[in-house]
Amino acid sequence: DNPELFWESIWHYFGIQSYSPYRCVLEDASMPGAKWFPGSTLNYAEHVFRAASNDRPAILFQSEILPEGKSISWAELKSQVAAAASWLKRHGVQSGDRVAAYLPTIPEATVAFLACCSMGAIWSSCSPDFGISSVLDRFRQINPKVLIAVDGYVYGGKRFSRMEELAGLAGGLPDLEHLVLVPYLEIRKDHDLPMAFTCWDEVVEDKEASLSFVPLPFDHPIWVLYSSGTTGAPKAITHGHGGVLLEHYKYLAFHNDVH
C-alpha cells in the first residue's frame, strides 16, 4: 500500500551508501518508466565488499571437478576483482560497455561480474550448456566488447568441451574486441578459435591493482537478463544497480533470514 515508505525504510535500515542524496523516493510512478531515488549515486559491488571479514571466507566453492571444495578469502576476492577491473580498463572497457560471459557458476564468474560492476560495465551471461544459436540470439542484442568463456564443463561425471561453440560465438559477435578463456577443463586448442584470446590467469595477475568503485546513478544498468525465448526471440531485461541492491538486501535478510 505504501511503496515509497517501504523502499525508503529498506534504504535506511541497511544504511545504503550513496555519494549524493536522492531528491525523492519515487519521481515517476508510471509503468514502464518508474523513476526511483533520482539523484542518488551508488555502486552495487561496493556494498558487497562491506561484508568483508578476516573471520570468514567470501566464497565456498565445490564442484564435480573439485569435490573436496575450496574457500576464497575476502582479501583474495578483492585482489582478483581489482586485477580484473584493471585489465578491463586497460583493454578499453568503460562504464556502459557490455561484458558477456559463457560461464558456469564458478568463482571466476563472481570475480568477473564484480569487476564489471565496480566500474559500471554491464554484465550479461549464459550457461555453457546453451548452444551457439541460443547464445547469439541473446548476446547479439547487446554487442559485447568482451566475452569471458570456459573451454568446457562437467555434468554427471562427463566432460563437455565447448571449444567448437566458443569459436562460433567469437565469430558471430561482430563488435567483440577481446576474448578471455577460463581453462576449466584445461583444453588448449588455440587454432580452433577465430581470434586471439587472453587466459584468465593473465586477467587476475596484477597483484598491485587497487579496487575502486565508480558512483553510478540508481538506475544505471547492472546486467542484462533474457526471457526464455519460447515466444520468439529472447527479450532483453535490464536491471539497475540500485534496484538490485535494495531487492537483494530485502530478499536475503527478510525472505531468507541470511545473516
Q: What is the pLDDT of residue 193?
A: 79
Tell me the residue ranges of DSSP E strands in 92-186: 98-102, 122-126, 146-150, 152-155, 158-161, 178-182
Report the C-alpha dihedral over residues 215, 220, 225, 226, rounded to 10 degrees: -170
Q: What is the pLDDT of residue 192?
A: 65
Count Cβ atoms within 10 A of the Cβ of residue 66 and give its class: 0-12 exposed, 13-18 middle, 19 or more buried: exposed
Q: Report d(CA 185, CA 149) in Å as an integer.
A: 12
State pTM to two decimals. 0.95
Phi, psi (5° rounding) for residue 206? -80, 95
- For the chain, give the mean pLDDT: 95
Which segments of the chain have a pLDDT < 50?
Answer: none
Question: What cell was used for 202?
Answer: 593473465
How big is the CA angle at 182 (ends 180 and 186), to the nearest 5 degrees?
130
